[in-house]
Chains A and B, each alone.
Chain A
Amino acid sequence: MNAVSHASSFEAPNFAATRAPLRAAQINTSVTTGVASGRVALVNVRRQALVTARLRALWVLMVFAAIAALALARISYLGFGEGSKAAWSEDAASLPNRGDIVDRNGLPLARAFPAYALWFNPHAMGEGAPLIKSPREVAEALVAIFPDENVDQLTQRLSSGKAGYLRRRILPEDANRIHALGEPALEFPRENERFYPQGSMAASVLGYVASDGHGRVGMEQVFDGPLSDPATRGSPQMLSIDARVQGAMEDELARGMQLTNAKAAAGMVLDVDTGEVVALASLPSFNPNLIDQTGASNIFNRVTNQVYELGSVMKPITIAAAIDSGVVTDMAKRYPSNRPLSIDGFEIHDDKNFGASLNVPEALIHSSNIVTAQVGDLLGGARLKSTMASLHFNERPYIELPAKGFPLWPRGDSHGNWSRITTMTVSYGHGMGITPLHLASAYAALVNGGIWRPATLRRLQPGEAPAGTRIWKAETSAKMRQLLRTIVVVGTGKHANAGGFRIGGKTGTAEIGNRAGYDKSAVIATFAAAFPMDHPRYVVLAMLERPQATAATSGQRTAAWNSAPIVGRLVPRIGPLLGVMPDNTRDIDISDIVPLIANGDGE
């Protein structure tokens, strides 16, 4: 480099001064063609060539220097700045586009899932044929991977040359096998989708995500804000649902539905001390992964949205109100029961005649409308109404879910007072419609010492449980626990008496009311229970809509034969999962109630 620049600088003045005359001399020589002038010209040409060569060398050098400088600049740029610039991207990569929903043990019920799709891109190889092999061969290879596809249809789509999805969701190993086919036109982009690994389980609790990316119906809608907010969607939303209990509940309800040809079923498990909903099922259900025509019609949630006249399961509430207010002080006191009660032109009667008189335990065991109506009458409309109102039977149920049914609350007279006949029908569960969730919350208050708490689907940490409001004295609750347990030990709930779990509860078979009156052949069969009765932890509710009399229910349509066995099968499955171990050596003491009961069954 030095040599060249040295030489060029040495000759530079010469070169600059002589360049123009040289041209002229060249032209002259070519014209004159003398011998002496020819030698001069040769020297000049040589010098000229040399100069041009040096100039070119300089240019090349400058280009190389520029490239070196650029490379150096790039190295420095990479060396200094690049590492810090892209630091955010891995956070973004690990952050789902929508947060997970998990059950109380952390099992994911809904998650953002980067699923593979199979996309046909005919322009992947530029112009010309989109596929390497013939469309038919490729279609056959694809059918070997996805046996449910049709070769002819696939061939047609592959030869049409139109881009589009071949399949919306494929498994990773399928993606690998397609990759092995070596067709660049078959692409498998990863797409973020909402996925429910448990399928239709807890669908009515979860809801689904519509194509606009927002949740619908269930907790997807309730949690829509935190699930889509980048600041909070990294951590999952925890539900109070226990997936194992939920699964068992749905199994047993589906089995009960099948055995009785019921139209629908609903059920729930509620923690009596915190109000947490451990399971909530409404069947028939839908698959939130794929909302189709049949699924869309099943989205309706029967537990929180449907209002029923639940019938006899309301009797313990009336009796509890009567015990609490001192109307019933003596369990042995007998009430006439042998003839229908006639009030204001209405008649209240029982399914059958249970004898001349019944006491309160017998009335509950045989589910006597006549005796319960008398107790309700003694209690009075005002007190029964205030009890029902304090259980929030006059407003939508307390739960996060958006779909909540409004109860059918008896209007009463112009002052809102219930007439005598209204009081009496409400006392045994007619003339007032509530959702199954209302009933479950009321039963929780009935057995937990008398405190009503709102139901929740959020998992509560210890100490987070709401204080609740006291409805009944603890004394009343203790008496009701005995009575409910008695119903299962000697009464209509016998089929729910799973060994060692100390279940207590009340059956209810209510005819479905319509404009023409009550339909004798269509019933709502409910069993509301709690376990273990010596220290109640959970309320279990099972309800069948329009069950039929079948061989499996010994030709009966009543809750004693269809809903109670569901609870009897369910509790042994869920009890140990919820920390309630069966123990035949423990039970609530009902020895002061049992002697009051004459033998005999009834509904």
Chain B
Amino acid sequence: MNLTRDRLHTIGWGTALAICFALTLALTFKVNAVKSEVHLANRQIAHLQQEKMFLETEFEARANQQQLKALNDTDFGYEAPTAGQYLESERQLAMLGKPAAPDAPKQIRMAENDAAGMPASMPAGMPAMVSPMTGKPVDAPAKADHAAHKPSLSQRLSRLDDVVARAVHPAGARRE
């Protein structure tokens, strides 16, 4: 068999075509394999959804209103809260406080969010996040630093009292 240049070309093209065909075939198979995996996953999701619905319904049937009522009648005896247990507004809440007097407890004038060194989303006094692996706080150094700076509640309240005192006795008056 003598390989002329022409023949070599033909064989080359044929091989390229065959390789492309094989690759296309493989790719198609792969695509369809993924498709069928997706389909399988969908079926699993549908099955789990049904299972979830099943459990949900069972829970609702066991915890239905009549059951809860029977439970309350025998074990708890909760009653509807009366008007005295409700607060309509901040003003009603304030009415529960005592007016400032020598023996009266110090008033909490406002809630304070100390933003220094702490993400704004995290309220003050929140326990530090503990790593489940080591059992130690995740960002311990930053927290420790912050804790050192954090004033106690009484300190914060006394600072508020300063503010109030300044408001009541303006600086000019104090100088006299």
Contact = CB atoms under 8 A, between A and B. Distances in A.
B91 to A, nearest CB: 10
Contacts of B50: 93-94, 114
A573 to B, nearest CB: 4
A394 B83 CA distance: 41
Contacts of B29: 75, 79
A554 interface: no
A90 B83 contact: no
19 contacts: A75-B29, A78-B36, A79-B33, A90-B43, A94-B50, A114-B50, A172-B54, A195-B57, A197-B57, A200-B66, A247-B65, A247-B69, A499-B82, A573-B80, A576-B80, A576-B81, A583-B83, A584-B83, A585-B92
A201 B64 contact: yes
A441 B170 CA distance: 63
Contacts of A78: 32, 36
Contacts, number: 99
Interface in B54-92: 54-55, 57-58, 60-61, 64-66, 69, 80-84, 86, 88, 92
A94 B46 contact: yes
A199 interface: yes
Interface string A474-507: 0000000000000000000000000111000000
A600 interface: no
Given A172-B54, A201-B64, A582 B49 contact: no
Given A75-B29, A83-B32, A582 B54 contact: no
A315 interface: no
Nearest to A112: B53
Contacts of A572: 80-82
Contacts of B61: 195, 197, 199
Interface in A83-104: 83-84, 86-87, 89-90, 93-94
Nearest to A572: B80
Interface string A328-351: 000000000000000000000000
A176 B66 CA distance: 28
Given A93-B43, A572-B81, 17 more contacts: A78-B36, A79-B25, A83-B32, A83-B35, A93-B50, A111-B53, A114-B50, A197-B57, A199-B61, A199-B66, A201-B64, A500-B86, A572-B80, A581-B88, A582-B86, A583-B83, A585-B92
B24 to A, nearest CB: 11
Interface in A438-465: none
A93 B65 CA distance: 30
A140 interface: no
Contact of B42 (A75, A90, A500, A576): A90
Contact of A500 (B32, B46, B47, B82): B82
A243 interface: yes
A89 B36 CA distance: 13
A284 to B, nearest CB: 14
Contacts of A108: 57, 60
B82 A198 contact: no
Nearest to A195: B57
A83 B86 contact: no
In the A-B complex, the 9 residue pairs with the closest CB atoms: A500-B83, A83-B35, A247-B65, A582-B83, A197-B60, A572-B80, A79-B29, A93-B46, A573-B80
B32 A79 contact: yes
Contacts of B57: 108, 111, 113, 195, 197
